[in-house]
Amino acid sequence: MSPENEFVWFVILGVWAAIIVLAIKPLHGYMVSRGMENMVAVYYNRKVAHMVSGGIPLIMVPIVFTDPIWPLLGGVIGGIALAATHIMDKRLWWMQTEQNMNDATFAFMLGISVFLLWHYLDNAWLAILPALFMAYGDGVTGIIRNKLFAKRTKSVWGNLGMAILCIPLGFMIGKSAEPSIPIWGAISGAVASFVERYEFGPIDDNVLIVVASSVVIALGVYLGPF
């Protein structure tokens, strides 16, 4: 695909992400109108944004791009934009909170991890796998916990739900790699599901999910299949 076409796709996916972030604003109002607490609605919306605004463009990356610079630019631009709303106290109140800037961290980690892994592994699908764990695995985890506890918290039930999604996902994408590393892919999904429950100050679960699963995948490529 030509650089011109990749630029067009970059713009399309960027516009998609922005539209989804704005489109979920009425969803917050609907949930609150049904008796849901504001913060619960905010966290539901954040997970929807993870999966739809971030996750769908992420899936498109190996299909429409041949250069990892595009997801890097998308993640960095998105991260800067989201961080700016916090810094300037202009938060997107239907999906952001004063408590943390995890939404901005999500965008930064998505772009940076895909860029670095794509360069190291020379495999676009493996490169997006840790970010997929972050977008969809952590998304499912948050929805489960929100449903069970109606607040942002950590629980083994959320991690179990994440593992049910991430382990098969890692297996399938790992199997399609060359050389095929399905077991390493599954292990990376299990590791991502385990570390999600931890945060260390500014190092939030988005960082831990991506870093830990990336290390496993890189190790699998280096050591080869079982």
**Over the stretch 175-184, which tens digit does the pLDDT of each residue have?**
998 889 999 9
Residue 221 · residue 181 · CB < 8 Å: yes
- Model-level pTM? 0.92
Burial class (CB in 10 A: 0-12, 13-18, 19+), 30: exposed
Per-domain boundaries in the chain: 3-223
Local structure of residue 1 (DSSP, 8 states): -
| Sequence-separated (6 or more) residues with CB below 8 Å from residue 89 | none
**Over the stretch 89-101, which tens digit does the pLDDT of each residue have?**
999 999 998 888 9
Handedness of CA 84, 205, 188, 59 (dihedral sign): negative
Burial class (CB in 10 A: 0-12, 13-18, 19+), 65: buried
Per-residue model confidence (pLDDT) at position 2: 76
* Distance, C-alpha 143 to centroid of its chain: 14
- Is residue 73 left, alpha or beta, with left meaning phi > 0 and alpha meaning psi from -120 to 50? alpha
**Over the stretch 191-214, which tens digit does the pLDDT of each residue have?**
999 998 888 877 888 999 999 999
Which residue, chain included where needed, has tokens 């990749």? 6
